[in-house]
């Protein structure tokens, strides 16, 4: 996956404090995909960390691919 360069636009209030962030849809989708991938990897690591000598391929695939398979 190609790294997306984010160019967010920050919306600030009258006091200068940030209120919101605006991203274009490609950047938003890339960010969501990256978060989902990170979550899947953490789930897979948790399964693989179990004190078993073997792991079912199905379990590893589920951990890495989640419900998107």
Nearest alpha carbon to residue 12 among 25, 22, 23:
22
Q: Is residue 14 part of a domain?
A: yes
Which residue range is the domain that position 62 belongs to? Answer: 10-68
What DSSP string describes 2-21? PPP----EEEE-TTS-EEEE
**Model confidence over 40-53: pLDDT tens digits?**
889 888 878 877 77
Q: Is residue 55 part of a domain?
A: yes
Q: What is the mean pLDDT of residues 26-43?
A: 91
pTM check: above 0.75: no
Q: Is residue 33 part of a domain?
A: yes
Count of domains observed in the chain: 1
């Amino acid at each position: 996956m190609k790294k997306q360069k984010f160019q967010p636009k920050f919306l600030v209030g009258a006091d200068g404090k940030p209120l919101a962030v605006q991203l274009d849809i490609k950047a938003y989708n890339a960010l969501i995909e990256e978060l989902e991938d990170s979550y899947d990897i953490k789930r897979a690591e948790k399964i693989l960390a179990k004190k078993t000598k073997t792991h079912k391929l199905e379990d590893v695939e589920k951990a890495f691919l989640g419900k998107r398979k």
